[in-house]
């Protein structure tokens, strides 16, 4: 329970809501691992990123943009999929 005194908020003593050093280390590792693929790599060039979506009912949808090569590779890996029921698929190519 938080006690409010004017504009400041303090924790009562013995509340046990503080993070231990292990929990802080774990939280830091999780945040760093999620941010790691998007940190610019020295010497990383710019890639032309092209995404193509093939649908059975709709014509091809093509999107193109520029992105750092490392970001493009991460997105190409995570966005590629194929729907086994319909045969529709999406691919991202880094050139």
The pLDDT of residue 10: 60
The pLDDT of residue 21: 92
The pLDDT of residue 16: 59
Mean pLDDT by 10 residues, the chain (95 residues): 54 67 94 84 84 72 84 82 76 83
The pLDDT of residue 74: 82
Q: With b meaning 16 or more CB within 10 Å and e meaning fewer, what string describes 43-75?
A: eeeebebbbebeeeeeeeeeeeeeebbbbbbbb
């Amino acid at each position: 329970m938080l006690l409010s005194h004017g504009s400041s908020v303090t924790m009562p003593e013995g509340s046990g809501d503080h993070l231990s050093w292990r929990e802080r280390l774990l939280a830091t590792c999780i945040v760093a691992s999620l941010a790691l693929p998007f940190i610019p790599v020295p010497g990383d060039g710019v890639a032309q990123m092209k995404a193509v979506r093939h649908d059975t009912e709709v014509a091809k949808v093509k999107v193109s943009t520029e992105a750092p090569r490392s970001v493009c590779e991460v997105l190409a890996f995570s966005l590629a999929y194929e729907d086994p029921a319909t045969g529709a698929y999406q691919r991202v190519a880094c050139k």
